[in-house]
Amino acid sequence: MKKLIFILMIISLFLGAMSLESTCEKNKVDSTGAEISTLRIGYVESETFDLYTNLIQNIANNFQKEGVLKQYSLDSKTGKEAWLKMCENNNSNEFKFVKDMYFNLKDMNESEYKKAINFNDVDLVIVMGTTAGKYFAENETKNKFMVFGAADPILSGIIKSETEKNNPNAFAHIDRAKYKRQIQVGHKILNFKKVGVVYQDDEAAYAYSGIDSLKEAAKELDFEIAIKHVDEAKDENDYARYYKDLQNAYKELVDEKIDVLYITTATIEDEKLYELLNHDIYPNKIPTIAQTSENQVKCGATLGVTLLDSEEQAAFAVAQIKKYKSGEDFEKLDQVNESTPKIYINYDVAKNIDVKIPFSILLITDAIYHLDNNA
């Protein structure tokens, strides 16, 4: 009996030691011996998109400046590549970027979306875009999530208002005037009377194409809107159909006497943009305004006014993440942050279609591109 008791005591001591060792591995401590809690972060994007890639790269840049990430080359072609680099270059006990918590909804069937929500090994998810943001708002019940790069998070139902949530776990960056600023600046430069716009006929595309803001601006600035609907490319094999439908829509808009084309967020490949526009739009001397990115101007749009400054928004994102890590109530984090607009012009395109850019505008233009900039 004594021997049995002795054996049980040895086993108990061994298990206790194992438990202590496990706890020490799990709970990291600082130089004073105080336990350090780790905020585990994941990343989900609606699709591969320049804006999202730029934002996550700039978020990485800000974490580098804070010493959370090691120094490494930030240049990445996709959001996934940028995220994996963040995971591989973690330099902090306070933050962990979870490699397995990356999802791109465009690469998944809708039935697979549930893999991205209520993930066990994260506390916070960075979410890019309207589609992913809306899905998280409707389905995420376990983890906090922050939505960036969504066109209109209130209109799309990600959040209820600047201060109210549909989902207590939700955070969404808000800049309600961004589309209106863009149209106002474009109108000041081009003084158009009838704008053409092509977008997919569904609720999400209506939101991320900024159609509400376009209609508001039309009332204020007294211009007409001509609308055409085209289904976006569903996958790589669908681009031939998509581009044919786009060209038909552009031809119809030309026939309706538009004097500017507003190129909204869509699945157009930037490197194909000039070719598409040079079929009917540019031969009819119609300028274009790019809604989404500077790269579209580089690739052939006439001008663009940024919806957001990705460097500025990334700094805002990291500041809010740090506040949450420091103990601030998630529901009280600032969601509203307005970007300073930047203007981009393709000088060769403007010259070729006889658009006269005022010298005063050229002086405040942030970047001027030429057609030989095209890849």
Q: Are residues 122 and 260 in the same domain?
A: no
* Residue 229, token pair as written in the block: 């609907």
Domain assignment present for 67: yes
Residue 171 structural domain:
36-175+309-332
Q: Are residues 222 and 364 in the same domain?
A: yes
166-197 tens-digit pLDDT? 899 999 999 877 788 889 889 999 999 999 99
Q: Which pLDDT belongs to residue 310?
A: 85
Q: Which pLDDT belongs to residue 20?
A: 33
Q: Are residues 102 and 161 in the same domain?
A: yes
Q: Which helix (H) or strand (E) holds 217?
A: helix 211-221
Task: Please list the residues that pair with 23 across neighbouring strands.
Answer: none
Domain count, the chain: 2
Find the mean pLDDT for residues 59-74. 97
Residue 87 CA to residue 208 CA, distance in Å, equals 30
Phi/psi of residue 124, nearest 5 degrees: -145, 140
Domain assignment present for 132: yes
This prediction has a pTM of 0.71
112-157 tens-digit pLDDT? 999 999 999 999 999 999 999 999 999 999 999 999 988 789 988 9
Q: Which pLDDT belongs to residue 208?
A: 81
Domain assignment present for 222: yes
Hey, what long-range contacts does 346-349 have (CB within 8 A, 24 or more apart)? 346/297, 346/298, 346/300, 346/301, 346/302, 346/303, 346/370, 346/371, 348/372, 349/274, 349/282, 349/287, 349/300, 349/301, 349/302
Q: Are residues 58 and 114 in the same domain?
A: yes
pLDDT band at 36 (very low <50, low <70, confident <90, very high): low
